[in-house]
Chains A and B, each alone.
Chain A
Amino acid sequence: MQTVRLEISPTPAHVRTARLVAVAVARQCGVDEGLLDEIRLAVGEACSRAVGLHRLHSRAELVLIEFFDGPRFGVAVRDAAPSESTTTTTAPDPLALLTATNGDDLGRAHNRLDEPTEAFSEEALAAGVGLALLAGLVDDIEVAAMDDGTGSVVRMSWPVG
């Protein structure tokens, strides 16, 4: 099994880099072309989630992305944010999104976020929708807290060939 490892600082610009690398590695591993869009979106969502969590908790550590070549093409995205708020995959209620007026409301609907600014509300919304999107997109996905409490990891895989 071959592995490609990529570490990015938690900034939005590098999420795009991760998406590009994901598609390149998946293609090299022999993943069907028809799955590449899904992989691009899923890796982007997982990395956006990790970057968002690092920014939320003011963590400067690098986000680690690993790609595994094997019977299936695997991707693991690991963050270093406190794990208590990172593993929910509950889908948001779309109508609640429109009635929520601040970060607290959205936080109750989706995730634990508590800065009631307008832009932040959208970030809160994106966090909840992002996980729902991942769960809906990827058949084989797991979001798990690290045993030592230092973050969480999103693991996903797709068939090869």
Chain B
Amino acid sequence: MELSLSTRAQQDHMVLSVGGEIDVYTAPQLRQRLIELVEAGSKHIIVDMEQVEFLDSTGLGVLVGGLKRVRALDGSLRLVCSQERILKIFRITGLEKVFGIYRTVDDAIAAGD
């Protein structure tokens, strides 16, 4: 399945909803979208991964890259994910310590208030 990306503003956050497979083939699209959002002025980004069916290390690298970009602007990048198979990947790699991971978009927004 190809990658799907859609954005919407919610309060003072930009929510990037991702669906499909984030892998070595599609990760450049995600990287480009994150760069576009930051360049357009978004510095509080929430990546909603509820519709993600596959995530590999390349996707993790892009997410870390996005986090670094917004942190350089005193911004934030939070993740929304409740799928155990995806959460397991963050646990194994230790990246659960790096990202704020929430079960819903509302929870992610509330975490910044």
Using a CB–CB cutoff of 8 Å, the interface residues on chain A facing chain B are 12-13, 15-16, 37, 40-41, 44-45, 48, 51-52, 91-95, 97-98, 118-119, 121-127, 129-130, 132-133, 136-137
Contacts and interface: CB of A to CB of B under 8 A. Distances in A.
B61 A129 contact: yes
A129 B60 contact: yes
A124 B58 CA distance: 9
Interface of B: 21, 23-25, 28, 31, 54, 56-58, 60-62, 64-65, 67-68, 71, 85, 89, 92-95, 97-98
- Is chain B's interface secondary structure helix, strand, loop, or mixed overall? helix
B22 to A, nearest CB: 11
Contacts of B71: 98
B56 A97 contact: no
Given A44-B56, A121-B65, 19 more contacts: A12-B25, A44-B54, A45-B56, A48-B23, A92-B93, A93-B94, A94-B98, A95-B98, A97-B64, A97-B98, A98-B98, A122-B61, A125-B61, A126-B24, A127-B57, A129-B61, A129-B93, A132-B92, A133-B93
A75 B94 CA distance: 26
